[in-house]
Amino acid sequence: MAEREVDRSISQTVKAQLALRDQILSGSLRPGERISELQAVETTGASRTPVRMALVRLEEEGLLEAIPSGGFMVKAFSERDISDSIELRGTLEGLAARFAAERGVSARELEPLKECLAAIDELLRQVPISVDAFSSYVTLNARFHAVLTELSRSPPLIRQIDRASALPFASPSGFVMAQSALPEAQQILIIGQEHHRVVIDAIENREGARAEAIMREHARLAVRNLRLALRNRTHLDLLPALALIKTATD
């Protein structure tokens, strides 16, 4: 064991957690595979205590599963797990949108949302959309969803949505990327943008039910498109996290 070089700029626990998550999401650790603490100690550079804390956090996050006899393994997901997770998040975001609408949101608070909307409109003007623009789209879309979630002003709900987004394929970025594998990707993006426009309008007019309904529809569409995308296995290597997690279960 060479002298441990400690990076004191960041907690060892967080460092280990990030490193392990990266290994899982990048596929270095296959689903179903048992994670060896000792090996994790070597690859992350932290010692066993922080590594164990990171493992516990990743288990709570849903990326790992505790093995009854001890230790942890990388969790494996079925196709239905994935679509359920997306629908779940859509339901929660629907509730967030309803809360935002019912509780009232000032014009000023709605501003960031409208900025995202306008920026995405700008991007979609390109036909077909470039790779760079698509990448910007992914970022802006994630931001839109995050801001919308915050507008619910409900810490318990925000917390739960964050948890639901922890699984990479259930995060806004994740399923947008899945949809991009489809030939009609551009059309899908435009429809999604329409949903965004409606939800803002519904919140502005305090129509809680409408705001909720559109977010759920947004998610249901994503699930449908994901199903289609999973048929086109050829494009699936575009989606790092999704493809890796999924392929192991079948």
Residues that bind DNA (CB under 7 A): 1, 4, 6, 8, 11-13, 34-38, 46-50, 52-53, 69-71
Least distance from DNA to the Cβ atom of residue 17, Å = 10
Q: Judged by CB under 8 A, how many residues of this single chain contact its own copies?
A: 28
Strand partners, 64: 74
Least distance from DNA to the Cβ atom of residue 74, Å = 12
What does the alpha-carbon distance between residue 83 and residue 18 come to, in Å, rounded to a whole number? 26
49 binding its own copies? (CB under 8 A): yes
How many Cα atoms occupy the beta-carbon half-sphere of 37 within 13 Å? 14
What does the alpha-carbon distance between residue 150 and residue 139 come to, in Å, rounded to a whole number? 17
154 binds, among its own copies, DNA, none (CB under 5 to 8 A by kind): its own copies
Spell out the long-range contacts of 33-41 with Cβ–Cβ below 8 A and sequence spacing 24 or more: 33/73, 33/74, 34/67, 34/71, 34/72, 34/73, 35/64, 35/71, 35/72, 35/73, 35/74, 36/71, 37/71, 40/16
Q: Judged by CB under 8 A, which of 12, 44, 85, 141 binds its own copies?
A: 85
84 binding its own copies? (CB under 8 A): yes
Enumerate binding residues for its own copies (CB under 8 A): 49, 52-53, 56-57, 60-62, 80-81, 84-85, 87-88, 91-92, 95, 99, 154-157, 159-160, 163-164, 167, 170
